[in-house]
Structure 1
Amino acid sequence: MLDDFLTRAALAGFGLSLATGPLGSFVVWRRMAYFGDATSHAAILGVAFALATDLPIGIGTLLVALAMALTVATLAAKGWVMDTALGVLAHSALALGLVAVSFLHGIRTDLSAWLFGDILAVSKGDVLFIWAGALVVLALLAWRWQALLTATLNEDLAHASGLNPDRERLILVVALAIVVAVAIKVVGALLIAAMLIIPAAAARALSRTPEAMAVFATLIGAFSTFAGLQLSLWQDTPAGPSIVTAAAAAFLLAALFNPKPST
């Protein structure tokens, strides 16, 4: 029974890493860290929405995360100063979600599981949902990989190549919302952005090409899952934060190995 429970947790973490590795690379390249925070913090509001409407948690989270991501992308396209706008949206969404949950009478839920994740409690259905979402994100990124790279490098170059940077941004927005929906059970709303940013930042120090960075970020995410689960098992630490701690240790080692990344 213990082995089955750890196997499900490992599969969930590995599936999430498949999506967060390449997507996190674009988050780092485009300096979208706060964008990821705003979208992931909205996940708690998605949990409240799902509980209030009897929707599956993943679907409710996906809908609200997508709405938040589209709102942020629209504000960015209209020229808003994004530091302030993202700060307001991120913390307002988190606070509103926590308040909304408190109004759901007759529904008992452990908010810490949604804030920090509960990977050790994932079911077979959760694992299938995570892998399905990860494969959709991978398909989106593989389909538009070169276009996304061009738009990330230079929007004027993208226009000259016949690409629409706004469309490429929208693809990243949709992918980010999907990752938020599949990651909330693994690392929770407060740590989703960490799993996007930290493995990619560590991979940046080890890579010479964008493709290599995406692969290394995926591998570092998978290794962090394994190391975090082992730490949780041996020392009885919370699993989600342990996974992020392992990723942070990988980043520190990568930074010491190559303090001046080339990608």
Structure 2
Amino acid sequence: MLDDFLIRAMLAGLGVAVAAAPLGCFVVWRRMAYFGDATAHAAILGVALSLALSTSVFAGALAVALAMALTVSTLSGRGYAMDTLLGVLAHSALAFGLVAVSFLQGIRLDLDAYLFGDILAVSRTDLAVIWVGVALILALTIWRWSPLLTATLNPDLAYASGIDPKREQLVLTLGLAIVVAVAIKVVGALLIVALLIIPAASARPLARTPESMAVAAAVIGAVSSLAGLRLSFLFDTPSGPTIVCVSAVIFTSTNLVARVLRATA
């Protein structure tokens, strides 16, 4: 079954959707969209370094994404404006990554595949790496769900309950780095944040509890992946951007429905 490239693409898309959904909810709740963007942009530098050192692309992207996330978390509490810091680091990391790629000799690199994703080229090894990453993210999220949620909703209450918000921020940072590393092959560095944010934002008007929002976000992400793959196959369009377009349509639809229901209530 896994010899069929479409089946592998579907499984990869489902894996990324399931992994990104719960973390995407925390990104939306904490208003950390630009933080995720900086982490994703840094992954290109990780790709270049891994190819230069002949190591795993997943390992390189994970290492640099995690380093970026930790750098932002460290510097943000030392007098730097968060939006300025993220803007500088995100675009600097992307630029250094693109320049580093240009120095690679004797290596054929489809840069578009890492910027916008190439889900149809996912191999069995890529699929195994993606689902190992998914398992790690789900285990981490389930283990730290309650402390993460408390630290997100009320840091003072978290301190009173013996929870360190900075530690939970580090846990979320690690999860985001893993998502970036597993998703770069599927939707690319420039679209990863869209897959994190849009399904969670689409689920928000439909949910009554944080847990239901995470589940709804996973379902929306899965539907977006499968529908986007189908549409890209039918209309011969890029798969990653098509998946994000379907997510955007679902976001618009759920928010319009929510507005209509509130207006008629």
TM-score by length of 2: 0.96
Distance in 2 (alpha carbons) for counterparts of 1:117 and 1:224:
15
Matches within 5 A, 1:1-263: 4-259=4-259
Structure 1 spans left out of the alignment, 5+ residues = none
Using a 3 Å threshold, how does the CA distance of structure 1 residues 47 and 231 change in structure 2: closer, same or farther?
same
**Deviation of residue 79 (structure 1)?**
4.3
Query: How far does residue 3 in structure 1 lie from its aligned partner after superposition?
Result: 7.9
For residue 190 of structure 2, give the secondary structure of its aligned residue in structure 1: coil
Q: Secondary structure at the match of 1:109?
A: coil
Tell me, yes or no, if the aligned pair for 2:2 and 2:124 is still in contact at 8 Å: no
User: How far off its partner does 1:167 sit?
Assistant: 0.4
Deviation at 1:125, TM superposition (A): 0.9
3-state secondary structure, aligned to 1:258: helix
Q: C-alpha separation between the residues in 2 aligned to 1:247 and 1:148?
A: 26
Tell me the C-alpha RMSD between the 2 structures: 1.6
* Alpha-carbon distance between aligned partners in 1 of 2:228 and 2:168, rounded to the nearest angstrom: 34
Q: 1:195 to 1:260 in 2, by over 3 A?
A: farther
Aligned residues: 262
Q: 1:194 to 1:46 in 2, by over 3 A?
A: same
Partners of 2:7 and 2:212 in 1: how far apart?
A: 28
**Divergent runs of 4+, >6 A:** none
How far off is 1:18 after superposition? Answer: 1.1
Residue 77 of structure 1: CA displacement? 3.1
Residue type of the alignment partner of 1:181: A
* Secondary structure of residue in 2 paired with 1:185: coil
User: What CA distance in whole angstroms lies between the structure 1 residues aligned with 2:166 and 2:259?
Assistant: 33
Deviations 1:56-98 (A, max 9, x none): 1111100000100100111223342100000001011001100
Which amino acid is the alignment partner of residue 139 of structure 1?
A: A
Cα distance change on mapping 1:202 and 1:260 into 2, 3 Å: farther
Cα distance in 2 for residues equivalent to 1:190 and 1:254: 24
Q: Kindly tell me: are residues 23 and 4 of structure 1, through their superposed partners in 2, closer, same or farther at Cα, counting changes over 3 Å?
A: same
Give per-residue Cα distances to partners, 1:198-246, cap 9 Å, x unaligned.
Answer: 0000000110100000000000000000110011100000000000001
| Aligned-partner Cα distance in 1 for 2:260–2:85 | 31
- For residues 117 and 153 of structure 1, the distance between their equivalents in structure 2, rounded to whole angstroms, comes to 34
- Cα displacement string for residues 43-64 of structure 1 (whole angstroms, at most 9, x for unaligned residues): 1101101011001111110000
Confirm or deny: 8 A CA contact 1:205 1:261 kept in the other structure.
no
Where 2:76 maps in the other structure, the secondary structure is helix
| Amino acid across the alignment from 1:221 | G
Q: Distance in 2 between matches of 1:259 and 1:110?
A: 43
Q: CA deviation at 1:259?
A: 3.4
Q: Distance in 2 between matches of 1:76 and 1:176?
A: 17
Amino acid at match of 2:128: L
TM-score (norm 1): 0.97
Structure 1 residues 229, 75: CA separation in 2 closer, same or farther (over 3 Å shift)?
same
CA contact (8 A) 1:207 1:261 kept: no
Aligned residues with identical type, % of pairs: 66
Between the aligned partners of 2:120 and 2:204, the Cα distance in structure 1 is 30
Partners of 2:232 and 2:238 within 8 A in 1: yes
From the superposition, tell whether residues 261 and 177 of structure 1 become closer, same or farther in structure 2 (CA, over 3 Å). farther
| Contact 2:76–2:85 (8 Å) recurs in 1 | no
